[in-house]
Structure 1
Amino acid sequence: MINLNRFDLVTLRLFVAVLDAGSLTAGAERFGISLAAASKRIAELEQHCGLALLQRGARGVTATAAGIALHRHAIEVIARLEQMALALDDLHGGATGQLRLWANPSAFGGFLPQLLADYAQAHPQVRIDLEDALSEDGVRAVRDGAAELAVIGDNVPTEGLETAVCHVDQLVLLLPAGHALAAGSADVPVPIEQALGHDLISLARRASLTRQVMAAGEAVGLNPRIRVQVRSFDAMCRMVACGLGLAVLPQAAAAFHVDSLGLVQRPLSGLLTERRLLLVMRRREALSPPAAALLAMVEAAMPGTAAGLPSADPPAERAQGR
């Protein structure tokens, strides 16, 4: 039987970092130790287990069957220990709990600030640990235990996790008041092929919204031209106001800037404009009381939506940008 006393947290965290990075070198760099030290720790871990954990190749490392099993349980152990440490820190600070939430730019630019304001009023002793991140990073944070909950776009893979719809918005086109596409009635949609024929302002290319826009362009035979990439909707709108390009973004985010920056908002046609945001978690029954309270608020605000079910691949019409 394997001696549990020979496992240490540092090596387990290194092992997770190596597999997530796909190579021993990248894992060591991410963990902040030398390659030689990382190699020694992984070799000792394999010796303790009595099994090969990694398959080494020219392109990096992959997990063996034993490595997959260890990776899954290591994440659980690390997450629990981090939760324990954070809970003790909260007690030292007088708080009754901590909400660990990551959220994408669409959430920050839309419904999330008011939701958290209502949450803080209802739970004043809970400390909110909030991280601004792209959807992919939010999913990874939930899997790794860095966050209990994350708000993501619905075109991001979430296999093995549970989700709940937390917001539904519409994508719109934002453009300067003097632009040719700004003429005419505000209710007449702009065909997506016309909108994507111009330079675009976007978030990072791996952002779920950007990938959705790029997929919409491919569907109509276009390769959208991204002129400027920024990190927030506020920056996107300011770039549009300066005439650097057009932007496709959620209506809730656009509404904050239309009047103040003198911009024009137009509906779009030729693509699925409904954009759903999901609250993703590992297992709802394992949520801490602060996280469970936020989930309850979300479900109360979104009646009639499917929630809490194991995640599956999104249907075809929602798979744009995967």
Structure 2
Amino acid sequence: MINLSRFDLVSLRLFVAVVDAGSLTAGAERFGTSLAAASKRIAELEQHCGVALLQRTQRGVTATSDGQTLHRHAIEVIARLEQLAQAVDDFQSGASGHLRLCANPSAVGGFLPRVLAGYAQRYPRVTIDLEDALSEDGIRAVQKGLMELAVIGDNVPCEGLETVVCNVDRLVLLVPEGHGLAGAAQVGVEKAFDHDLVTLARSASLTRKVMAAADAVQRTPRIRVQVRSFDGMCRMVAAGLGLAILPQAAAAVYADALGLVQVRLEGVATERVLLLAMRRRSELSAAASALVEMIEGEAAAGIVPPTMHQSE
């Protein structure tokens, strides 16, 4: 029987960092230790487990099948210990819980501030740890246990995670005042692709949806500028660098302030669905469960559609 006392948290965290980085050197740098010290710890971990955990090549390292199993369980252990540390911090600060979530720009620039304001009013002693992240980054954070919840686009793969629909919005075209399309009540989506566009990064779920819309009308988008936030998108539109397709709730925040006009899009599905993703609902903290219940309560009241599924 393996000696559990010989597993130490430092070596497990280092091992996860090395596997995630795909390099012993990069993992050591990310972890803040020397290459020699990292190599020694990994060798001791392999000796203790009695199997090779890493396959070493000239291009870096990858986890063996046994290493992948250890990697998965190490992430679980580290996540649980981090939750324990946060719980102790909450005891000391007088907080009654800690809500850890990340959200994509559509959520941060749209419905989420309203939801979190209601949550904070209902649970004033819960500390809210919110991180702005693209959907794919949010999924990885939940899978690794760094965050309990993530608001993501429904067009991003999230295998193994449970999801709840938390918001539905519609995409609109945002143009400067005085633009040729500014006076139109609605325009065909193909007309948007006659102009330069301002978008988020190509990996963002919203940009993927825009690209899918372009494919549907057999057009190639002319992306002139890519930024990391809706604020940046709207300021680029106001400066005349292109048009933007974004959720109506976010567009409304900036339209009046920056002299922009929202134009309804036709000819393609413009519904934008956001999901609240979690690993397993049964393992959520009380603070995270409370947020899920709030969102489901809004769904029951007709504010958002009541839908939940387990991703395959």
- For normalisation by structure 1, the TM-score amounts to 0.91
Who is 1:301 aligned against? Answer: 298
Q: Tell me if 1:44 matches 2:44.
A: yes
- 1:241 to 2:238 alignment: yes
- Residue 200 of structure 1 is aligned with which of 192, 197, 202? 197
Q: In structure 1, what is the Cα distance between the partners aligned to 2:56 and 2:193?
A: 44
Cα distance, 1:99 vs. partner? 0.6
Give the superposition deviation at 1:217.
2.4
Inter-partner Cα distance in structure 2 for 1:157 and 1:33: 34
Cα distance in 1, alignment partners of residues 182 and 249 from structure 2? 19
Q: Which residue number in structure 1 is paired with residue 282 of structure 2?
A: 285
Greater shift, 225-234 or 242-251, is seen at 225-234
- Closer, same or farther: CA 215–30 of 1 in aligned 2, 3 Å: farther
Aligned residue for 2:45, secondary structure, equals: helix
Question: Equivalent residue of 1:182, what SS?
Answer: coil
Q: 8 Å contact 1:167–1:302 — kept in the other structure?
A: no
Q: What is the identity, as a one-letter code, of the residue corresponding to 1:96?
A: S
Q: How does 1:71-90 map to 2 (within 5 A)?
A: 71-90=71-90
Per-residue CA shift, 1:1-27, capped at 9, x if unaligned?
Answer: 221111111111111122222232332
1 CA distance for matches of 2:285 and 2:295?
15
Name the structure 2 match of 1:167: 167
Q: Equivalent pairs: percent with the same residue?
A: 71
Partner of 1:230: 227
Change (3 A) 1:29 1:205: farther
Match of 2:266 among 246, 266, 269: 269
Distance 2:26 2:265 in 1: 42
C-alpha distance 311-228 of structure 1, shift in aligned 2 (>3 A): same
Equivalent position amino acid for 1:246 in 2: L
Aligned to 1:14: 14
Could you say what secondary structure the match of 1:159 adopts?
coil
Q: Deviations over 1:92-145 (max 9, x none)?
A: 001111111111111111110010110011111111111111111111111111
Number of positions where the alignment pairs a residue of Structure 1 with one of Structure 2: 308
- Unmatched 5+ residue regions in structure 1? 313-322
**One-letter amino acid matched to 2:284:** L
2:35 aligns with 35
Q: Which residue identity lines up with residue 258 of structure 2 in the other structure? A: L
Structure 1's 37 and 105: CA in aligned 2 closer, same or farther, altered over 3 A?
Answer: same
1:310 Cα deviation (Å)?
Answer: 1.7
Once the two structures are TM-superposed, the CA of residue 35 in structure 1 deviates from its matched residue by 2.7
Name the CA distance, whole Å, in 2 between partners of 1:198 and 1:10: 53
How far, CA to CA, are the matches of 2:148 and 2:27 in structure 1? 23
* Shift, 1:203, TM fit: 1.6
- 2-side partners of 1:157 and 1:20: how far apart? 19
Tell me the residue number matched to 2:130: 130
Per the TM alignment, residue 86 of structure 1 is displaced from its structure 2 partner at its CA by 0.4
Q: CA distance change for structure 1 residues 16 and 270 in 2, over 3 Å: closer, same or farther? A: farther
1:317 is aligned to none
Tell me the distance in 1 between the aligned counterparts of 2:221 and 2:35.
Answer: 41
Which whole-Å CA distance do the structure 2 matches of 1:268 and 1:36 have between them? 58
Moved more, 59-68 or 161-170: 59-68
Length-normalised TM-score, structure 2: 0.94
For 2:5 and 2:89, the matched residues in 1 are separated by: 26
Cα distance, 1:214 vs structure 2: 2.4
- For 1:269 and 1:96, the matched residues in 2 are separated by 48
The letter for the 1-side match of 2:100 is R
Contact 1:21 1:27 in 2 (8 A): yes
> 1:118 matched to which residue of 2?
118
Q: Given the alignment of the two structures, is residue 181 of structure 1 paired with residue 178 of structure 2, yes or no?
A: no
